[in-house]
A and B are shown apart, each in its own frame.
Chain A
Amino acid sequence: MQIKPILAALRRHRLATLLIAVEIALACAVLCNACFLVARRWTMIEINSGVDESSLAVLTVNGFEPSQAADVNARMLAGLQAIPGMQSATLISEVPFGPQTGAAGISHDAESFKNLIGVVDFVLAGPGTYKALGLKLIEGRLPQPDDYRPATSFAPEDAQVLVTRALAEHAWPGESPLGKDFWCDKMHFRVMGVVDHFARAQPSQYNMQQGEWTVFTPVVPGGSLAGTYLLRARPQDVQRALQAARAAVPKIAPDVVLDQDNSKTLGDLRASYFKTDRIMIGLLLGVVVLMLGVTALGIVGLTSFWVAQRRKQIGIRRAIGATRGDILRYFQTENFLIVTFGIALGMLLAFVLNAVLMKFYELPHLPLYYLPLGALALWGLGQLAVLGPALRAAAVPPVVATRSV
C-alpha cells in the first residue's frame, strides 16, 4: 500500500482531517483518564476487609448513660447469645463500612506528634471478637486474657495491640513490627501481632494505602466499649439471626434504643457503603461508551461524505485496474493514518487532563500502560467505523468513470 498518494489526498482535506484527529485526540484523553478513574474505584470497591463478611452482622443500641455500660453489655450479650442460630455475639467499637468511632493520629514518640505515623482507626474489641471477625494473624501472637485493658476514651491508656500489615509496612518499613512502640499523645501501644487485612470503618475517605490503617485493640467490655455488638452466624442464617436480634432488643433491654440504621449485616453495610462508587463507575463507563459511539458516528459521517465526493476518482481507479480490495484498503489506511495522528495528539492531551485532575483530586500519575491500550481501542474503533463507508466505496463500479456526473 502506498502511503504517499493518501497523504497527498489528505492534504487537500486538511480541515476535515484535522477535525477527525482532534475528535480522536479528545476521545483518547477522556478514555484513558476515565478508565483510570474506573480502575481506581474498582480497586477501592474490591478492598479486602479481612473479615468474614458473609457471616457477620452488627447491632447498635444507644440511649444509656455511660455508668450503665457494663450492665447493658452483660444483658445484651447474654440475650443475643441465646438467639437460635447465633454462633457468637461479642463487643466491638466499629466494623468495616460502618460508622467510624475512633480515629486518631499516632506517632513514634510520646507526647509529640512531630514524628507522626498517620491517622489510624482504633478498633476496640472485647473477648472473642478476634475469632468472630475471622482475621488472619501472619506474625506475632493473639491477645491473651490479661491483654484486655479498660478504656474510657477511644483507646486504653496502655495496651498491646494488633496492627495490619499495611500499617506495619508504612510505620516500620523493612523492620519487624513486633514489639515496636507507638503513641497517641500520652497513650502508649505496643505491637504484639500483625494481621493480614483489616479495613477501617470508612476506607474510601482515605487514600488507597491508608484504607487498612487499623489497630485492633483488646479492651475490657464497659466504659467506651459498649452498645455495638458483632453477631456471627452461618452465612445462610446471618440475616435471620440479625432480624431475631433486632426484634429481641426491646425484651432484652427495654431501656435502650435500637439504632436502626447501624444494625445491618456486613454484606449490606458494604453494599450501601459503595453504592455511590458503583453509580460513578456506571456513569463513567456510560459516558465513555456514548463518547466512543459519537466519535464512531462522526467518522462514518465524514468518510461517507468523502466517498460520495470521490465517486468519480474511485471509478477511474477501478477502470484503470485497481481491485475492490485496493479501494477498501485505501480508505482503511487513510483512517489508520488519521487516527494515529489523533492518538499522538491524544496522548499529550491525556497527560494534560491527568495533571488537571491531579490538581483537584488525590490522584497519582496516569500509568503509562493505559496509553497503548487506549490507542488499540481507538484504532479498532476507527477501523470499525470506516468499514461501512469503505465497503460502499469498494462497490463503486468502474463505469462511473465514463459518466459525466
Chain B
Amino acid sequence: MSQEIREVSPTGKAIIAVVLIPTIAALNYVGGVIVEALKAPIWGDTWATILGTLIGGFWVGAAGGFLYNIIMALTVWGLPSWVWGFANVAIATIAWFMMKMGWTDLKKPMTWIMMIVLYGLVYPAFTTAISIGIFGGGPLWKPLAAAVYTATLSSTGNFFLANYVQNAFTEIIDKPISFIISVIIAQRIPKRFVLAK
C-alpha cells in the first residue's frame, strides 16, 4: 500500500533545553560536592558548563553555568558572587569556540595548546577584570596564589598585572582539567542526547 510519508520537524529541542539547563546547573553544584567527597585536586564546579556547551550548544552551557552561579551565590557563597556567572559564560564561550574549531579531540596537540592558551591565559584576563572591578582585587586566600600576587606586585609595581598573574596561576591547571574531563564525558554520551550541531 503506497502511502504519503511526511517529514515532520521536531519541536522538542526547546523544551529539552529548558530541562537541560537546570540540570547543568545542578550538575555543576553536585560536581563540587563530589570533588569534596573524593578529595579530587580540582575545583570541579564548572565541568558541567563545558559539558553543557558540548552537548547542548553555547546557550545551554552558558545559561546552565550562569544559573549555577546564581544559586551558589544565594545558598553558599553569598551574593554578589553571582557576577562569576559571567565567568561561566566566558567558560561556555571558550568551550563553544573550541568545539567549533574542532579542538575537542584530545589526540590533537592543537587541542592541548588552545586549551591552555584560552583557559589558562585568556580566561584569567576576564576573571581579573571581575575580581578588580567588583571585589577590589588583591591577594587570594590561597597562600601560593597570594605569594604570586605579592611577588609580581613587588617586582613590577603593577596592580593589574599582579592580579592577572595570580589568577592565571590558579586557573591554568584547574580549567584545562575540567575541560578534559568534560570532553571525556561528552564522548561517552549516546548520540541521541546531543543537541548541539
**Mutual binders A and B:** no
By a beta-carbon cutoff of 8 Å, the part of chain B in contact with chain A is none
